[in-house]
Amino acid sequence: MEYLLLFIGTVIVNNFVLVQFLGICPFIGVSKQVSTSIGMGIATTFVMVMAALASWLIQHFILVPLGLEYLQTLSFILVIAALVQLVEMFLHKSIPGLYRAMGIFLPLITTNCAVLGLALNAVLRDYNLGESLVYGFGAGVGFTLALIMIAGIREELEFADIPKPLKGAAIALITAGLLSLAFSGFAGMI
Amino acid sequence: MYNSLVALASMGGLGIILSVGLVIAAKKFSVEVDERIEEIEIALPGVNCGACGFAGCRSLAEAIAEGKAPINGCPVGGIAVAEKIAEIMGADSGNAPERKVAQVLCRGGCAEAAQRAEYDGPNDCRIMNTTQGGDKGCTYGCLGGGTCVEVCPFNAMYMDENGLPVVIEEKCTGCGKCVEACPRDIIILTGEEYGVHIRCRSLAPGKEVRQVCKVGCIACRRCEKECPCDAITVTNNLAEIDYDKCTVCRRCVAVCPVHTIEEQDGKPEIKAKKAG
């Protein structure tokens, strides 16, 4: 029950993108088509779960015993970068179709601040291994949800008669703001 | 001092472990990439227009390297690109595909075509077409929304002051993006040597065409009778030209009473064809 609450809380109430404003760059950059945003969401979710696992291991087996907690950011970035590389190689070998479809967005997960934010937040809140994994998975699902939602809206916006000054990125940012407002309605539920 | 040494050692160690892991993974998951793909991709125009039928220049390069696509598979680059690729692949370039250009088969601009309504929606032909068929009286002709101009990856089209798209033939590569985009199917690809075009697609009877457009084909059959090589046939109230038979003699241009048939400057008559 505790894990379920944590999961729902991470996906909806404390949605990484729409409530905590992490990972805005891919949120705007990869949200023009629902199909690519789904691929991006799945890849990011995978990296997030792996990052949650790796960062927990590093925190508890390297940083804490050696008294090096101040090196969290550095070591987590290192691990995340390596993980993304690994995912990229794996996809290239095993699922070349998906690898091609994701293109440049795959290596860009490295610089997704939602992944780093997840690793740092999990440590900050003193989660155990199980909680960390659920937290990572929830963060990924929340990210995917937000991405698919805005992509669906933006696909419809393609055909809308938008005033010229608001075309392109401007209307996307306004849309993101409205979505975020809507999600603020969940605040305090859990 | 001790602390910083520990920090240095642990971060360095972490880095080394991860990099060793990545090296092993790279060996294990290594994918053999054909070097020629890269070279072919550089030789291709790189605009990813899709005229070759593949998803982009990269896909075509992969297909050529694997032998799944012909060396002259890029209709945009023509013979120059085919020769370069042939050099990379070590094979004969063959004949480049015939150069094609887009032709807009409608002359009914703002001045010629009657308007039947005011249109105030988005400036996109596909939307205009679904919104009661646009603002012009003719339901077969150009909508004037400029969608073909927008999709052209080579800037080879522009809208003239009369509200009709114009193809700049020197820039047109025959990629067919505009043909795909046009909801009215009034753009076609023809060989670049043809200089006579029947610029109307209306299947309406002559009387109706007269009411909505000054330059629409009224199916009077004069061109059909005049044509010395039987290249023009009138079916479904519309004269159509068979480019394979046309010799660009321009006789039809002279007899067309509504000037639907247009000749282009600088296209010589094709003499060789007459004999055969």
**H or E element, residue B87:** helix B78-89
A32 near A151, Cβ under 8 Å? Answer: yes
Distance of CA B259 to the CA centre of its chain: 26
- Give the pLDDT of residue B273: 55
Residue for token digits 């996307």? A172
B218 near B210, Cβ under 8 Å? Answer: yes
**H or E element, residue B20:** helix B2-28
pLDDT level of residue B276 (50, 70, 90 thresholds): very low
- Count, residues in chain B: 276
| Average pLDDT of the residues of chain A | 87
Q: In the predicted model, is pLDDT for residue B13 greater than 50?
A: yes
CB atoms within 10 A of CB A109: 25
One of 3.40.440.10, 3.30.70.20, 3.30.110.60, 3.40.190.120 is the CATH number of B193-276, namely 3.30.70.20
Is there a contact between B7 and A93 if contact means CB atoms under 8 Å apart?
no
Distance (Å, whole) CA B134 – CA B111: 16
- Give the pLDDT of residue B149: 92
Is there a contact between A79 and B121 if contact means CB atoms under 8 Å apart?
no
Distance (Å, whole) CA B214 – CA A156: 38
Q: How far apart are the first and last CA of chain B?
A: 94
Is there a contact between A68 and B127 if contact means CB atoms under 8 Å apart?
no
- Give the pLDDT of residue B274: 45
Mutate to test the interface with A, among B2, B6, B16, B18 (most CBs of A within 10 A): B18
| Pair type for strands B165-167 and B157-159 | antiparallel
**pLDDT for B82-133, tens place per residue?**
888 888 887 665 555 667 889 999 998 888 888 888 888 888 898 888 888 8
Mutate to test the interface with A, among B4, B8, B14 (most CBs of A within 10 A): B14
Identical fold at B35-89 and B99-192? Answer: no
What residue of B is the nearest CA neighbor of A158?
B122
Distance (Å, whole) CA B132 – CA B119: 10
CATH fold of the domain at B35-89: 3-methyladenine DNA Glycosylase II; Chain A, domain 3 (1.10.15)
β-bridge mates for residue B198, sequence order? B261
Which position has the higher pLDDT, A31 or B15? Answer: B15
Residues of A whose CB is below 8 A from B124 = 159
Cβ neighbours for A169, distance < 8 A, ≥ 6 positions apart: A28
- Give the pLDDT of residue B91: 67
Please state, for a pLDDT cut of 90, what percent of chain A lies above it. Answer: 34
B260 near B200, Cβ under 8 Å? Answer: yes
What residue of A is the nearest CA neighbor of B20?
A82
Residue extents of the structural domains in chain B = 35-89, 99-192, 193-276
What residue of A is the nearest CA neighbor of B7?
A68
* Mean pLDDT calculated for residue range B26-38: 80
Distance (Å, whole) CA A138 – CA A18: 14
Phi then psi for residue B189, to 5 deg, are -105, 130
pLDDT level of residue B134 (50, 70, 90 thresholds): confident
Q: List the structure tokens of B102.
A: 């887009």
Q: Could you tell me the residue range of the domain that residue A135 belongs to?
A: 27-184
Q: Is A18 contained in some domain?
A: no
Q: Is A108 contained in some domain?
A: yes
* Mean pLDDT calculated for residue range B159-165: 91
* Mean pLDDT calculated for residue range B50-58: 80
What residue of A is the nearest CA neighbor of B2?
A66
**pLDDT for A101-133, tens place per residue?**
666 777 888 888 889 999 999 988 999 999 999
Instruction: Give the E-state strand segments of chain B in sequence order.
Output: 100-104, 157-159, 165-167, 187-191, 196-198, 232-235, 238-241, 261-263
- Lowest average pLDDT, out of A29-43, A79-93, A95-109, A131-145, goes to A95-109
Is there a contact between B25 and A74 if contact means CB atoms under 8 Å apart?
no
**Tally of domains within chain A:** 1
Q: In the predicted model, is pLDDT for residue B169 greater than 50?
A: yes
pLDDT level of residue B16 (50, 70, 90 thresholds): very high
pLDDT level of residue A147 (50, 70, 90 thresholds): very high
Q: Is A16 contained in some domain?
A: no
Distance (Å, whole) CA B75 – CA B88: 18
B215 near B112, Cβ under 8 Å? Answer: yes
Is there a contact between A75 and B26 if contact means CB atoms under 8 Å apart?
no
Domain covering B99-192 in this structure, CATH number: 3.30.70.20
**pLDDT for B195-239, tens place per residue?**
889 999 999 898 889 889 989 999 999 999 988 888 899 988 899
